Amino acid sequence: MMKSSKDQEAALLEKTAREFARKTLIPDIHETDRYPHGPFFHDALKIAFESEFLHVSLPETLNGMGWKLKPLCILLQNISRVDASMGSVLLSNAAAQELMLAAGAESILADLVSQDMAATDFLTAFPLFSHPNEKAIQVAAQLRNGNYQLAGTADYMVPGPIAGRYLVPARTSKGFSYFLVDAKNKNAVSGAPIKSLGLHACPAADIAFSNADGILIGREDEGAHIFSKMHEKMMIAAAAAALGIMQASLDDALKYASTRMQGGRKIIEWSELSGMVGQMAVMTKTAGMLLQKAVSDADAKDTEWAVQGFAAATRILSDACTVSTLGVQVLGGYGYMRDHLQEKRFRDSRHLQSVFGAPGRRAIHFLNQFNKSNRK
């Protein structure tokens, strides 16, 4: 059976993503993981932009690949297999784009896409690691002379220090709304890059607003609704990045265990250790199957895609932490050394697990979504 054009397109994207990661991310990965105390991967980001990785989840009318999850997940999985920091930069930008599309702000996105700009100017910062229902929103919006002005501080905006604009939740009359703010606005000031547990090369900063002009995205007070629509899809995308971490952890663990000798034999032949690597393999394979199903159902708009996708993503994000922990243990003392990337994956998986809010509250959000689905 001949492959369809869509299958060929997906295979080409996967190959391109792997080549990009191998050629542009691996050579400097130890240095860029020191950010903000080391260099940022500006050259790699420029190549990603020129390869239209930052457009991939947009509709075809906006130079994207049809507003589908599959291309974005292919990209995130294969890039995060090498460096989840770059994957998280792309994920944050995609989440901002998805929220604007969910709000019906395609014309605003069209203006941004049509402009001739640098990679960093194209990026839209977003509070990737927070959920608006989990803590009070510290930015307020006031309508003055027909324009909205924002005041307050937005915490941990990704990639705030380098982005061309900010997509910010702000309190409005009866709830909250999202606003787009130009990073060049003198009343919007980015703080210093925040040193984080993991995802070091995924820049984040607190942004302080002092009566900064903002463009309303969607309708006033509908922030919760459009966040929910974005959240449903982007949780699955985050799981793709987590799967990439799992695959890399398994690859290195298996390679090490198959070559390291102890007691006159390869350590993979010791039952305790082979059991650990086997557990990693089972969890990684299961995550791959769950993700494939979630992406397929989401793109096909299956009736239960949202609740099933959220459940799958929650499981994958959690299991990535377990697999990366086992990956460190398989390497023994070497697993804790920065020369080996297992300890980076250990940190990155835990940071990524907090995407869109605290992992401990994720079951509560799922229960709300599950109840809504059952009432239909």
Q: For the segment 51-95, what is each residue's pLDDT rounded down to a tens digit? A: 999 999 999 999 888 889 999 999 999 999 999 999 999 999 999
Q: Which CATH code fits 7-123?
A: 1.10.540.10
- In percent, the amount of the chain with pLDDT more than 90 equals 81
Q: Does 294 have pLDDT greater than 60?
A: yes
User: Would the CATH topology of 7-123 be identical to that of 125-222?
Assistant: no
Give the containing element (helix H, strand E) for 157.
strand 147-157
What does the pLDDT read at residue 2?
A: 39
pLDDT of residue 196: 93
| Domain-wise residue ranges, the chain | 7-123, 125-222, 224-375
**From the CB of residue 70, how many other CB atoms can be counted at a distance below 10 Å?**
21
Instruction: Give 1's pLDDT tier (boundaries 50, 70, 90).
Output: very low
The confidence score (pLDDT) of residue 261 equals 83
- Averaged over 238-262, what is the pLDDT? 95
Q: What are phi and psi of 147, to 5 degrees?
A: -120, 145
Domain 224-375 has CATH 3.30.70.590: no
- Most confident listed range (114-123, 333-342, 351-360): 351-360
Q: Residues 164-170: what's their mean pLDDT? A: 97
Give the integer Cα–Cα distance in Å for 210 and 2. 58
Q: Which residue has the higher pLDDT, 262 or 281?
A: 281
**pLDDT confidence band for 278 (50 / 70 / 90):** very high
Q: Tell me the pairing of strands 165-171 and 124-125.
A: parallel
The CATH number assigned to the domain with range 125-222 reads: 2.40.110.10
Whole-model pTM: value is 0.95
pLDDT, mean of residues 35-45 = 96
Interaxial angle between packed helices 5-20 and 69-80, expressed in degrees from 0 to 180 and rounded to the nearest 10: 30
The overall average pLDDT reported for the chain is 93
Measure the CA–CA gap between 102 and 227, rounded to whole angstroms.
8
Are the CB atoms for 238 and 246 separated by under 8 Å?
A: no
Instruction: Using the predicted structure, report yes or no on whether residue 312 has a pLDDT greater than 80.
Output: yes
Span 170-194, average pLDDT: 96
Taking CA atoms, 37 is separated from 192, 196, 198, 201, in Å, by: 12, 12, 14, 10
